[in-house]
Amino acid sequence: MQLTVNTPTRPSAIILDMDGTFFLGDALLPGALELLDWLNEMGIRFTFLTNNTSRGKQDYVRMLTSLGVRQEDARIYTAGDATISYLKLNYPGHRVFLVGTESLRSSFEEKGIQLVHDNPEVLVLGYDTELTYQKLVNFCFYLRCGLPYVATHPDLNCPSQIGPLPDIGSFMALIEVSTGRLPDVVLGKPNAGIVQQLARKWGVDVSEILMVGDRLYTDIALGKTAGVQTALVLSGETKRSDLPDSQFEPDFVFENLAGLLQHFSS
């Protein structure tokens, strides 16, 4: 008789959402650091992936390290990075009008994207927590001229300790009401391109990757569109009662990262 042990299949690589998954506001969520220790111990590759383009990558590195994450573990890919790659590939050398924070502007300029106020060729909308009425006026004016419209990600709200904050998807709705236009392309999660890039970089098949996040329509949707396994954590935006109505069904559901760690390490 053959004996079998029903242990969960461990992924070769993990993509970790940050807001609502690893931390909430400025506090780590349960199991966060323990999970990183275990991933390092097991040799499982990982990166943080965030749609939030209100902060630059260095802001996230500083934030993670201030919370106790080691510098070498603070590997981050943002929707801003995905947008820069998209612009370089599809609009090389073009003049870009960006609605975004100073931090996002700096990250674009550091990568050689030419940002302008006048006579742009491409329009990019980011999650601008420094949004002003004048920026909206200018963006809508250029949209009516028919210029290409790129959004860094689709999130409707950003989770915080005081509750949901209006994110870029809410700005898109406002802009659509004014101009009748929606973005021509929306990068960030759930756009599958990033997962394919990471799989190539890591030398693993997408089926060996686990996507972990707190949102059905970005994190879990990304997993589904990219063909990776998905784990939903209930420490951020999604409640268990949201699951029956969702078109994106996660492979695993945990209260938080501690639950995920317990599952895969047991």
**What residues make contact with Mg ion under the rule CB under 5 A?**
17, 19-20, 214, 236
Residue nearest to Mg ion (CB): 20
State the minimum distance, in angstroms, from the CB of residue 165 to Mg ion. Answer: 12
Cβ distance to Mg ion smaller for residue 15 or 123: 15
Residue 120 or 188: the one with the smaller Cβ distance to Mg ion is: 188
Q: Among 31, 33, 22, which residue's Cα sits nearest to residue 69?
A: 33
CA distances 84 to 18, 99, 102, 160, 188, Å, are 20, 14, 15, 26, 11
DSSP category for residue 218: I
Instruction: Give the shortest CB-236-to-Mg ion separation in angstroms.
Output: 5
Measure CA 25 to chain center. Answer: 16
Of the two residues 19 and 208, which places its CB atom closer to Mg ion in the complex?
19
Which positions ≥6 away from 45 have C-beta within 8 Å? 12, 13, 14, 39, 202, 204
- The distance of closest approach from Cβ of residue 159 to Mg ion in the complex, given in angstroms and rounded to an integer, is 6
- C-beta separation of 79 from 58 below 8 A: no
When the beta carbons of 56 and 236 are compared against Mg ion, the nearer one is: 236
Beta strands 209-213 and 13-16, pairing class: parallel
| Minimum CB–partner distance for residue 215 and Mg ion (Å) | 5
In the complex with Mg ion, the residue whose CB is nearer, 100 or 236, is 236
Decide: helix, strand or coil at residue 111: coil
Shortest separation between residue 218's beta carbon and Mg ion, angstroms? 7
